[in-house]
Amino acid sequence: MKKEKYSIIITLLCLCMAMGGCSKEEVAADTATGTLTLQLQLPPALTVEVGEGKGRAVSLADQIKNVWAVQYSEDGTFKKAQYISGANNIGKHDNSDYLVKVTTGGFYNENSRFYILVNTGNNSLITDQGITEENLKKLTVDLTGGISKDAEPNFLTAGPVAFKQLGEEGVNGEGVKAVITAPLSRTYAALQFSYNSNNPEEGKFEAASLSLFNLPTKLTVHTDGNSSITDFNSTGQEIKGATWNGGLLNSVYIGENLRGFGSGKTFQEKNLKGKGPGLNGSLDKCTYAVLTGTYYYRTGVDASNNYTYTTNGITVSYKFYLGGSLLDDYNIIRNTLYTVTINIGGANSADIRLTVTNGNVSYFDEVEEVQPEYEVIL
């Protein structure tokens, strides 16, 4: 049987983000008199390069519609929460696409820390009784089906952001006026896929579908709250059907899924039960992708010197778990871009290479070979 070579290149880029509300609704333990301005730092437009092509650019500056600002004292005591919305209170700072200004009412002028929640769309998320810092981190926003295919979600957060006590009194008895700059972070990850059938002298591959499984259906305020998520879409989400014939597939967005590290030593072992990060090596709730298609062997050359291929082909399906490495990392981390390029050269095996870029540091995993999960001769 003829050999097939696949090459899957997975690139992880850490995305810089920032964060940042006509109505103001307050939840506070007692009177707070300071005036607070939030400067929410937005990330630069997300530009993704795959092979010779480029992904789409996304700006979130016009998508900030409402903001929760939550203050805790240094010892973790809840102090105040305020929900801000409307154009009178939220707007671009000096027409910048990367800095949004939010003005709000009273706050406590003491050493403390703030959390910022952007676009929850829920003005009753925090009750009159307040909320502990631990439970704040576990608050969630729904992500229908565990995936967003057509548009980037806009649930952003920042915190904890430290605040140092200012002078006792403001100007002319107006109270203290403070400005806090808060860098926002996405609460989700981005995935981008493409494939190439790059060995026409051996055969050609036509993709039928690409699907994702074990997707969290909620986004948490803070990464520390990720372990509290119990709702997953395990039945699969097709992100591209039979019309996908190579090239770049625009980004899809999924929730953070921190499963941990397994014990695998090769790419093949990463797919094996008993080598996963769960109890007794379970792969339960680990996010994975399945690429299915048909491979046609070359039969010759026609009169125009074009390759000819078999009418019936081999149906193949490849399953691979996503994460930070080819061997043992099953974590899907918020604010991270995963770019997966699948270079197809045959029908029976795959070469896997992983590139990880985090800031200015890159490293490369060794090339690994993966076998099809199944193949059917038609």
pLDDT tens-digit readout, 220-265: 999 988 888 899 999 889 887 655 655 566 678 999 999 999 998 8
Question: Residue 24's pLDDT is what?
Answer: 52
Give the chain's mean pLDDT: 75
pLDDT at 174: 53
Task: Tell me if 182 sits within 8 A of 114, measured CB to CB.
Answer: yes
pLDDT digits (tens, 9 = 90+) for 297-332: 889 999 999 999 998 888 877 788 998 887 899 999
* 281 in the same domain as 140: no
CATH label of the domain that carries residue 58: 2.60.40
Q: Domain end: 183, 204, 237, which one?
A: 183
CA–CA gap between residue 90 and residue 132 (Å, rounded): 26
Q: How far apart are alpha carbons 375 and 348 in whole angstroms? A: 9
pLDDT reported for residue 280 = 95
Question: According to the model, what pLDDT value does residue 57 have?
Answer: 40
Q: How many domains does the chain have?
A: 2
Q: How confident is the model at residue 38 (pLDDT cuts 50, 70, 90)?
A: confident
The pLDDT tens digits for 86-134 are: 877 887 666 555 577 787 777 888 899 999 999 999 999 998 789 999 9
Are 251 and 333 within one domain? yes
Q: Is position 168 within any domain? A: yes
Per-residue confidence (pLDDT) for residue 172, from 0 to 100: 40
In this prediction, residue 120 carries a pLDDT of 93
pLDDT at 245: 53
Q: Identify whether residues 161 and 258 lie together within a single domain.
A: no
The predicted pLDDT at position 33 comes to 60
Q: Which residue has the higher pLDDT, 63 or 65?
A: 65
**Shared domain check, 164 and 27:** yes
Shared domain for 104 and 86, answered yes or no, is: yes
Tally Cβ neighbours within 10 Å of residue 132: 12
pLDDT of residue 319: 81
Asked if pLDDT for residue 293 goes beyond 90, the answer is no
My answer on whether omega of the bond before 160 falls inside 30° of 0, hence cis, is: yes
pLDDT at position 248 is 61
pTM to 2 decimals? 0.80
Does a structural domain hold residue 233? yes
Domain boundary among 183, 215, 243: 183
Looking at the structure, tell me whether residues 218 and 291 fall in a common domain: yes
The answer, yes or no, to whether residue 30 has pLDDT greater than 90, is: no
CA angle 164–167–169, rounded 5-degree value:
135
User: Do 265 and 373 have their domain in common?
Assistant: yes
292 shares its domain with 244: yes
- Tell whether 126 and 144 lie within a shared domain: yes
Residues 31 and 151 in one domain: yes
Structure tokens at 166: 């200012």
pLDDT digit string (tens) for 121-167?
999 999 878 999 999 999 999 999 999 987 888 899 999 999 988 87
In this predicted structure, the answer to whether residue 77 has a pLDDT above a threshold of 90 is yes
Token pair listed for 3: 């050999």
Q: Say whether pLDDT at 358 is over 70.
A: no
1 located within any domain: no
Of 167, 183, 199, the last residue of a domain is 183
For residue 175, what pLDDT band results from cuts at 50, 70 and 90?
low
pLDDT at 353: 41
Indicate if 34 and 177 belong to the same structural domain: yes
How big is the chain, counted in residues?
Answer: 378
Q: The domain containing residue 313 runs over which residues?
A: 6-13+188-377
Q: What is the 3-state secondary structure (H, E, C) of the chain?
A: CCCCCEEEEEEEEECCCCCCCCCEEEEECCCCCCEEEEEEECCCCCCCEECCEECCCCCCHHHCCEEEEEEEECCCCEEEEEEEECCCCEEECCCCCCEEEEEECCCCCCCEEEEEEECCCCCCCCCCCCCCHHHHHHCEEECHHHEECCCCCCCEEEEEEEECCCCCCCHHHCCCEEEEEEECEECEEEEEEEEEECCCCCEEEEEEEEEEECEECEEECCHHHHHHCCCEECCCEEEECCCCCCEEEEEEEEECECCCECCCCCHHHHCCCCCCCCHHHCCCCCCEEEEEEEEEEEEEECCCCCEEECCCCEEEEEEEECCCCCCCECCECCCEEEEEEEEECCCCCEEEEEEEEECCEEEECCCEEECCCEEEEC
